[in-house]
Amino acid sequence: MTYSLGMSKISRSTFTVVALAGVWVPFHSAFAGSGSTVELSEIARLYSMRMQMVSNKIVLKNRYNTLEIEENGRRAWINDVMFWLHEPCRRSGRTWAIRKADFQYGIDPVLRSYTHAPKRTPMVVVIDPGHGGKDSGAVGLKKVFEKQLVLDISYRMKNLLESHGFKVVMTRSGDQYPSLDDRVDLARKVKADLFLSIHADGAASSAAHGVETFITTAAGFDSSNHYGKGGDRSSVLNNRYDAANAMLGYAVQSNLLKMSGRSDRGVRRARFAVIKKAPCPAALVECGFLTNPEEERLLRTEAYRSRVAQGIVNGVRAYRTLVSRAKR
């Protein structure tokens, strides 16, 4: 089994690692100005990338990585994995610019993880199977309950993680409903290094499909699915882990895509209670749509649930490798 760190890859016996050429430059030195945006030409210079327009995308590329950003849009792709920006990429004179937060808490932690990685190597993982008890979560066309499927996936993840030396704590072991605060309090009590909330999606349209990974929205911005609609933009507890969240979210999404074979809905931002209050880097993973006939069929199979569990675990292992390498 191999897993991907999502950037340029060097094959080893059991997994895939990444390499990034370039001189280490801290963010505050690279972009010391007081402005709220960063020009893509400056990002290209920092990473020694070539920049060109391809159709409606600005493409930055070097021998190690490719960054694509849609003009006047919020979607970016880092080595072909979608990563949503907080705000659209806009014209800035002769070039284009993105919000500094999208660079500092999104692109740079993925492409230069060694400058953002936490000091502590993750060992304690809290897995939160979504919903439970009175809360069934999404319900499939065949009356399959989200709460049952995600508990099964979570147990598969637990077994895999423990086989790789992690200590795993689950917020529920059966058909119970811990409150959202109880789930986060447990993570705090056990001194969790990572928090992963596992879900299956639902939508009004049966056409919606794919997998996605949510991380906490940066302070001062709208969440991905509520852009331009107003609402809470305040800072939350989990914002202290913004850079680590980006590393984790990207590692999980890229490896989940590889194992699940489903379409990429991207790494997105949200202020879901269990991640915004988490006392450690956190992600909420949507493993497919129960309201989509094909994905409901897949989610009902042990084979697909095993692949999903393996993909998420591969992402956690990739994240641990990034943190361990940064400490050397």
pLDDT more than 90, % of the chain = 84
3-state secondary structure of 11: strand
Tell whether 9 is covered by a domain: no
Centroid of chain to Cα 297? 25
Between the alpha carbon of residue 254 and those of residues 28, 71, 80, 326, the distances in Å are 28, 23, 9, 20
**Dihedrals phi, psi of 289, to nearest 5 degrees:** -100, 120
Instruction: Give pLDDT, residue 176.
Output: 98
Does the pLDDT at position 163 exceed 70? yes
* Angstrom distance (rounded) from CA 97 to CA 103: 10
Q: Is residue 12 part of a domain?
A: no
Answer whether residue 72 shows pLDDT above 80: yes
**Residue of 77, 79, 75, 69 lying closest to 20 (CA atoms):** 79
Residue 16 lies in a domain: no
Q: Are 248 and 315 in contact (CB under 8 A)?
A: yes
What is the pLDDT, as a whole number, of residue 94? 85
User: 72, exposed or middle or buried, with CB in 10 Å at 0-12, 13-18, 19+?
Assistant: exposed
CATH number, residue 28: 3.30.457.10
User: Can you give the residue range of the structural domain that contains 49?
Assistant: 21-111
Pairing of strands 167-170, 124-129: parallel
- Write down which residue in 50, 79, 111 finishes a domain: 111
Token digits of residue 160: 């895999």
Average pLDDT, the chain: 91
- The tally of domains found in the chain comes to 2
DSSP per-residue letters across 152-182: HHHHHHHHHHHHTT-EEEES-SSS----HHH
**15 in any annotated domain:** no
How high is the pLDDT of residue 35?
A: 59
Q: What is the CB neighbour count within 10 angstroms for residue 273?
A: 16
In a domain, 260, yes or no: yes
Look at residue 101 in the predicted model and tell me its pLDDT: 98
pLDDT at 92: 84
Residues 74-101 have a mean pLDDT of 96
Structural domain ending residue among the three candidates 54, 78, 111: 111
**Is it the case that residue 310 has pLDDT exceeding 70?**
yes
Q: Is residue 315 part of a domain?
A: yes
- 167 shares a domain with 107: no
Pairing, β 194-201 against β 282-289? parallel
172, pLDDT greater than 60: yes
In a 3-state reduction of DSSP, which class is residue 132? strand
C-alpha pair distances (Å), 91 with each of 7, 35, 39, 72: 27, 15, 9, 8
Q: Is 313 left (phi over 0), alpha (psi -120 to 50) or beta?
A: alpha
**Which pLDDT does position 39 carry in this prediction?**
97
Tell whether 76 and 207 lie within a shared domain.
no
Q: Is residue 5 part of a domain?
A: no
The answer to whether residue 152 sits within a structural domain is yes
- Say if residue 176 is in the same domain as residue 313: yes
Q: Is residue 269 predicted with pLDDT exceeding 70?
A: yes
107-149 pLDDT, tens digit per residue, is 999 999 999 999 899 999 999 999 999 999 999 999 999 999 9
What is the distance between the alpha carbons of residues 269 and 235, in angstroms, rounded to a whole number?
Answer: 13
Nearest by Cα to 308 from 166, 199, 183, 214: 199
What is d(CA 199, CA 180) in angstroms, rounded to the nearest whole number? 14
> 244 near 282, Cβ under 8 Å?
no
Q: What is the pLDDT of residues 274-302, one digit of tens each?
A: 999 999 999 999 999 999 999 999 999 99
DSSP string across 51-73: EEEETTEEEEE-SS-EEEEEBTS
**Do 61 and 134 share a domain, yes or no?**
no
Q: Looking at the structure, tell me whether residues 33 and 73 fall in a common domain.
A: yes
Residues 207 and 320 reside in one and the same domain: yes
For tokens 């989610």, name the residue: 299
pLDDT, one tens digit per residue, over 6-56 is 444 433 333 333 444 344 445 444 554 445 999 999 999 999 999 999 999
pLDDT at site 16: 33
Same domain, 165 and 252: yes
Retrieve residue 157's tokens.
Answer: 């993840």
Of the residues 111, 135, 152, the one at which a domain ends = 111
pTM more than 0.85: yes
CATH number at residue 187: 3.40.630.40
Nearest to 200 by CA among 127, 136, 282: 136
User: What does the longest C-alpha to C-alpha distance in the chain come to?
Assistant: 57
What distance in Å separates the CA atoms of residue 211 and residue 48, rounded to the nearest whole number?
32
| Residue percentage of the chain with pLDDT more than 70 | 89
> Which secondary-structure segment (H or E) carries 183?
helix 180-189
Residue 168: is its pLDDT beyond 60?
A: yes
What average pLDDT does the segment 147-160 reach? 99
My answer on whether 294 and 181 are in the same domain is: yes
Residues 165 and 102 in one domain: no
Q: Are residues 97 and 141 in the same domain?
A: no
**Whether 217 and 164 share a structural domain:** yes
Pair (137, 85) in one structural domain: no
